[in-house]
Amino acid sequence: MGNLYLIPTPVGNLEDITLRALRVLKEVDFILAEDTRTSNVLLKHFEIKTKCFSHHQFNEHQSVESISEKILLGANVALITDAGTPAISDPGFLLVRACVQKSIKIECLPGATAFVPALVVSALPCDKFCFEGFLPQKKGRQTRLEMLKNEYRTMIFYESPFRVVKTLTQFAEVFGNDRQASVSREISKKFEQTERGTLAELVKYFTENTPKGEFVIVVAGMQC
């Protein structure tokens, strides 16, 4: 029986990958990647010649059974996503569950993920927090926000540049204009930026400055 390795990949700077991750990627029988075109940039940079196959949200339901069977037969497989840790707002959960059901050994290497540095630099309490990832775009979005209205822990959200202003505006409407928050973008990249302030101030800033890049929004919990 082989192993499944979950390998975090850099969210920006390629130097953020670990030595162990590079070794495993070179040693496994094949790599599953969310987007092989994106992953090939990383693999080529580090001269990793391991075969790479697509594994994304549109095919993972159909492929987890065959992949887990290959591992049962002895294949060692690494799963990577475009950036960050697999299964965190990315494909991975279904394959992990299938492997657990077959008693396959799973190793998740520690490494890059976007929300941890965004939380730490937010200057908001980080002893207790809840990770919400991407909110529903339509159905269930308002209901979810109302459920979080009384959340006392710091809240973390992922968002695209096209919806940042809309999301911050909705946060201000539900949580209040004066709720403290932090918005980080392009973490570990050349144009990394973090803006802090009230939700009203952040709405104003990103209305006047066109959002670009991938965003992490950190919002203070309700004060008891």
- Reported as a single tens digit per residue, the pLDDT across 112-128 is 889 999 999 999 999 99
Task: Give the per-residue pLDDT at 224.
Answer: 54
- Structural domains of the chain ordered from first start: 3-108 (3.40.1010.10), 115-219 (3.30.950.10)
- Reported as a single tens digit per residue, the pLDDT across 87-100 is 998 889 999 999 99
Task: Give how far Cα 89 sits from Cα of 134, 158, 173, 174, 215, Å.
Answer: 7, 9, 25, 24, 13
Closest C-alpha to 175, from 198, 206, 141: 198
Per-residue pLDDT of the chain (224 residues; tens, 9 = 90+): 999 999 999 998 999 999 999 999 999 999 999 999 999 999 999 999 999 999 887 777 788 999 999 999 999 999 999 999 999 988 899 999 999 999 999 999 998 889 999 999 999 999 999 999 999 988 899 999 999 999 999 999 999 999 999 999 999 999 999 999 999 999 999 899 999 999 999 999 999 999 999 999 999 999 85
